[in-house]
Amino acid sequence: MAANAQATEPSTTEGFIEGSSLNLNARNYYMNRNRLQQADDNIEWGQGFIGKFESGYTDGTVGFGIDAHAMLGLKLDGGGGTDNSSILPVSDGNGKAPGSFSTAGGTLKMRVFDTELKAGDLFLANPVIAGGETRMLPQTFRGVSLSNHSFDGWQIEGGQASFTKPYNQSGHTRIGTSYGSLPDGEQSQHLNWAGMAWSGVPGLTSSLYASELKDIWNQYYYDLDYTYALNDLVSLNPGLHYYHTEDSGDALLGRIDNNTYSLHFTLGMGNHSVTAAYQRVNGNTPFDYISQGDSIFLDNSQQYSDFNGPNERSWKLKYAYDFVGLGLPGLTSVLSYSRGELDLTKVDPNSPGYAAWYSADGKHAQHWERDVDLKYVVQSGQAKDLALHLQWATHRGGNGYGALDQDTDEYRVILDYPINVF
């Protein structure tokens, strides 16, 4: 998920009722993971519904408001050994996900001048704690957040989250990690974060964040992205993403000393763009981030693989085209090819969290991924903003990489129908 944290201005609409909004989204999601080395595939199909209400603020120097949301997921297909694709709840052992799951939550909020405080169930999106949005229903967090927009072009924020509602479950759990295995009975009690994002110069953005996942790690992030228009047709876009992660507290996952960065350069020409990216993991553990989250703002994080293994070097070539140039506004496409090489022999086989990454045959482990992405958004009429998204990923590994993962073809068909009620 390569993206920059962007400073977003809070609503300035006065009035609890006048500033309120209600948005609904119906998301139909089909996912098929064809794992070539096993007999059963992971296939699930579901229909999700999410409603979000956001109030305005009461009048006065100190304004108060509430946000609320409700989610429902319905199983349309999945079971008999084909479950566990990750869009429906994990089965109870009978090979069948439940027919439905649901959740609801609320947030109390307060605003004083340009500072906003929220407490409750949060939708978060920054480089160190971002809720997963790539499945049928979104991930949320339970905690408190504080943001400030006092200075033009700046967003300053921080907070603490103690629980998360995973995107394929109804209840809340403690926050875990995507690539580490915590010892039985061990949990991190909370995640603290703070950071700032800046966009004070046209075309230039930068952000700096830090987080602590208690008794697991301290993580730091920096990015810099610049888009320069040579003329009305041609633009240049270099960019950098950098993470440093180190173990902290009781170090429940073991020793971590990881520096990971990615560099990209994009040449845009009209409706075409070509991107070359290079990514490097310096460390004997993978670059890790919170479970199910989207807080991996690296260029080579793809549909299936993140190319974030221990000591991994990877590169990517991507081509994107906007079909508005052929008179088809709303239709976009992306084609990409990524390739990486890892050294798995340096992983500590006794690591409490990452020992599964060790492979005596993985000195030059390799894998590659090919991605095709098509999306169409209806531009007008009663179905305006309805979006159809088709994704296809092919992933293959070799030279000892098979100890980590299997060769996989993955297909996704996603239909979103957002409705702005008021």
241, HSE (Cβ side, Cα atoms, 13 Å) = 25
Q: Are residues 390 and 413 in contact, defined by beta-carbon separation less than 8 angstroms?
A: yes
- Note whether 162 and 168 are within 8 A (CB): no
Concatenated DSSP letters of 228-265: EESSSSEEEEEEEEEEEEEE-TT-TT---EEEEEEEEE
pTM of the complete model: 0.92
Number of helices (H), then strands (E), belonging to the chain: the values are 0, 21
Handedness of CA 277, 282, 283, 288 (dihedral sign): negative
Q: Which CATH superfamily is domain 21-420 in?
A: Porin (2.40.160.10)
pLDDT at 11: 46
The token pair at 171 is 């209840």
pLDDT (tens digit, 9 = 90+) per residue, 230-275?
Answer: 999 999 999 999 999 999 999 999 999 999 999 999 999 999 999 9
Average pLDDT over residues 145-153: 93
Reply yes or no on whether the pLDDT at 176 is more than 50. Answer: yes
**pLDDT computed for residue 7 by the predictor:** 46
Confidence of residue 415 (pLDDT cuts 50, 70, 90): very high
Burial pattern 275-288, b for ≥16 Cβ within 10 A else e, equals bebebbbebbbbbb
The per-residue pLDDT of the chain, averaged, comes to 92
Cα(87)–Cα(75) distance, integer angstroms: 9
Query: Which DSSP state fits 183?
Result: P
CA distances from 121 to 141, 163, 172, 350, 371 (A): 6, 9, 10, 37, 34
Q: How far is CA 175 from CA 157, 214, 369, in A?
A: 20, 10, 29
What is the per-residue pLDDT for 82? 61
CA proximity to 375, closest of 352, 359, 392, 398: 392
pLDDT of residue 346: 94
Q: Can you give the residue ranges of every domain in the chain?
A: 21-420
pLDDT given for residue 85 in this prediction: 74
User: Is the separation of the CB atoms in 90 and 72 below 8 Å?
Assistant: no
Segment 10-53, tens digit of pLDDT: 445 578 999 999 999 999 999 998 888 766 678 899 999 999 99
